[in-house]
Amino acid sequence: MNLSEAFSRAVPVEVLLPTTDSIALVCDSPHSGTAYPADFGYCVATADLRKSEDTYVHWLWDAVPRVGGTLVHATFPRSYIDPNRHENDIDVTMLADPWPGGVAPTARSLALGNGLVSSLTITRQPIYARRLPAHEVAHRIEHYWRPYRHALTQALEMAASNGPRWHLNLHSMPSNAYERLGRVAPAPLADVVLGDLQGRSCSANFTEIVTEAFRQQGYTVAVNEPYAGQDLLRRFGEPSRGHESLQIELNRAIYLDEQTRELLPRASAVREDIAKVLHQIAEHIHSVTAVSS
């Protein structure tokens, strides 16, 4: 079997279960996949396409099972299909024939070309020299997007069927994030950006706990600036029910060579710091569940 065949047959999602007493914590990395399916059919340089990856994010957070949480991560790239976009976030101008389902692209995804199926790279280069058949997009939804969403939903339901639960949606961001968004930076990009949909997906208390945990490790932290969160937070965050969903963006410059996608020497130290942050989050979860039990 050649490399392309191996990629095309790879499972779309991996779930790493707790290796110690489980807690109601589920972390997911929807954009760190690097197995490019054989039927992708892109025309742009692979090095450019890879700039949209959250490369190594699931590795940075691999302590999740050791604190009792579940780690879910995609194996396919978000440029192929994005698990963090709504199923209807489709740009029909990309398609060769009519789309049989619902269509509701956001203005932001149309402007940046990064809806459910991306049309542009992070440097605004067209990904395809063709229009995609509707059946091809439907295949990506059925065999990649839906299995990922199902695995994450199942993990969250198993973590806490009726009680509180904590969901960390894990990402990385380019060090030129403001430029990428077409904005003038009001301040230097933080090392860590937490997104809670302006308080709609997560309580202020939990956002502050995670903020302080990172600051204690020496990282600068911003909240909802420049990223407030996306569809997975809207789907799973409901703080009034104790369902906390918080997006965490790491500045790639602190751990990754953004050109080569290779880890920097300090990446292992960042990984150890994240493990310490996870231990603090786990302590908080233990304290909350002990009171409520």
pTM of the model: 0.94
Q: Are strands 243-251 and 192-195 parallel, antiparallel or unpaired?
A: antiparallel
**pLDDT of 10:** 63
**What pLDDT, in 10s, does the model give residues 33-76?**
999 999 999 999 999 999 999 999 999 999 999 999 999 999 99
**pLDDT of 4:** 34
Q: What letter represents residue 201's amino acid?
A: S
- Nearest Cα to Cα of residue 72 among 18, 125, 6: 18
**pLDDT of 2:** 34
DSSP the chain: --HHHHHHTS-SEEEE--SSS--SEEEEETT------TT----S-HHHHGGGS-TTHHHHTTTTGGGT-EEEEESS-TTT--TTS-TT---GGGBSS--SS-----HHHHHHT-SSS-SB-TTS-BS-SSPBPHHHHHHHIIIIIHHHHHHHHHHHHHH-SSS-EEEEEEEEE-TTHHHHTT---SSPPPSEEEE-TTTTSS-HHHHHHHHHHHHHTT--EEESSS----HHHHHH-BGGGTEEEEEEEEEGGGTB-TTT-PBPTTHHHHHHHHHHHHHHHHHHHHHHHHHH-
**pLDDT of 6:** 35
What domains sit in the chain, N to C, each tagged with a CATH number? 3-85+135-292 (3.40.630.40)
Identify the segments of the chain with pLDDT beneath 50: 1-9
**What pLDDT, in 10s, does the model give residues 179-188?**
988 899 999 9
**What pLDDT, in 10s, does the model give residues 211-240?**
999 999 999 999 999 999 999 999 999 999
